[in-house]
Structure 1
Amino acid sequence: MKRLLAMMMLIAVMAACAGPGSDPRPVMDRSYTLQSLNFVATPGLVVSEDNGYYPQADIVWRGDRPGPRVAQIGAMFETAVARNASVIRGDVPVTLDIQLIRFHGVTEKTRGSVGGVYNIIFMMTVRDARTGAVIEPARRIEANLKAPGGGQAQALERAGRTEKVEVVDFLTATLRNELI
């Protein structure tokens, strides 16, 4: 029952994935088989390990141990693509080109108190995996996920719904919504 409720909440959040800063999704017939991902970060992105309420940076991520934050974010996108590869099974094999523009999560201080928003902005291009031809030109996607704080965040952690679990599930649904 708890799992069903969690999935229903996730679906409700996913219905509002694309934010107002997103480019419109092209109207077209899609029959993709998701095969691969090329992930890069925009050069010069600023990473912050500051534990303030809202660090002035492009990348703020605390769902993994301290380390190469861009690589950690890339791994989450890779997981989201791999999960969708078993679901998005159509006629045209495609490769996604993802260019990270912003990945602003919440710090320990924010998660421990008021919560906030995971603000994830990226450019996405869909290419034919066989020829490399662009099927859908680069478009900006802004996806925002509510980040609970305080007791609510602690309860999610105890239930195994860590920041990383929440964000990977969100990225999985965001990409699926953009590709189906």
Structure 2
Amino acid sequence: MLTRHAIAAMIMGLSVAGCSAPETATRNAPLDTSTATVAAPAYAIQEIRVSVPKTLKVSEANRYYPGGDIVWREDPAGDRHAQVKAIFEAAMMQGVKAMQPGHVPAVLDIQVTRFHALTEKARYTVGGVHSLQFHMQLRNPETGMAYGEPQFVKADFKALGGQAAIKAEQQGITQKYRITNHLAGVIQRQLTSPGGYQAANLGLMGALNQLGASNKN
């Protein structure tokens, strides 16, 4: 878990602006019902809590578009839920560090609902979409009261494929690197913009991806 003291120390060290939420039996259940409204840019994040529910299915199938909720291959075979949680924690921390903190202390709860990176087969041929989706909720660190309603964030973006993927890897630009930086930017926009993050239109790839997310696996 990332403590409020660790995050506060990192935020204080910036001179310019740039662990787990309760699991539920269903992937799309709301995180809270009691809320208080606060303007988005006013938050000072003191703690980040990331949850990757064990109810999310992991697929190790090497197909262009495998079923399941979690598809991740760049780390060694092992606990994919823990690996995805570590990626989200690093990304959320990176995004929060780059922000100018506001005056309202808050805890940031993240509940991952989908993490589809590319399989080996897709990455070295046609490419595809990194499908990254989560619920977020801001809370009062003392009372646990939610600030506003829980928000669903769709952070899908285009993945590299074929020669572009190979060239990127040679430069140290891995899937993990791109996903971490993308999610860091997403949470910055989500916390500072009244309209939140708006995912780009990914055309046919995005439509197919959304269809897969909505179907039961």
TM score, norm. by length of structure 1: 0.80
Q: 1:124 aligned to 136, 143, 162, which one?
A: 136
Question: Which has a greater percent of strand?
Answer: 1
Q: 2:71 aligned to 60, 67, 73, which one?
A: 60
Using a 3 Å threshold, how does the CA distance of structure 1 residues 113 and 80 change in structure 2: closer, same or farther? same
C-alpha deviation, 1:164, in angstroms = 0.5
Which whole-Å CA distance do the structure 2 matches of 1:82 and 1:127 have between them? 17
| Structure with bigger gyration radius | 2
Q: Does 1:135 align with 2:144?
A: no
> CA-to-partner distance for each residue in 1:25-78, whole Å, 9 max, x for gaps?
x99352111222222224421101111111111110122221111111111111
Correspondence for 1:93: 105
C-alpha deviation, 1:86, in angstroms = 2.3
Which whole-Å CA distance do the structure 2 matches of 1:164 and 1:151 have between them? 18
* SS class of match (2:41): coil
Which whole-Å CA distance do the structure 1 matches of 2:47 and 2:179 have between them? 20
Using a 3 Å threshold, how does the CA distance of structure 1 residues 52 and 29 change in structure 2: closer, same or farther? closer
Using a 3 Å threshold, how does the CA distance of structure 1 residues 149 and 56 change in structure 2: closer, same or farther? same
Correspondence for 1:69: 80
Amino acid at match of 1:163: Q
Which whole-Å CA distance do the structure 2 matches of 1:157 and 1:130 have between them? 44
Structure 2 spans left out of the alignment, 5+ residues: 1-36, 193-217
Divergent runs of 4+, >3 A = 26-29
* SS class of match (2:155): strand
CA RMSD in angstroms, aligned pairs only: 1.7
Q: Higher relative contact order by CA 8 Å / sep ≥ 6: 1 or 2?
A: 1
Correspondence for 2:183: 171
Map 1:44-55 to 2 at 5 A: 44-55=55-66
Give the stretch that moved more between structures: 169-178 or 128-137: 128-137
Correspondence for 1:115: 127
Q: Does 1:152 align with 2:164?
A: yes
Structure 1 spans left out of the alignment, 5+ residues: 1-25
Correspondence for 1:32: 43
TM score, norm. by length of structure 2: 0.67
Using a 3 Å threshold, how does the CA distance of structure 1 residues 36 and 66 change in structure 2: closer, same or farther? same
Q: 1:78 aligned to 89, 93, 109, which one?
A: 89
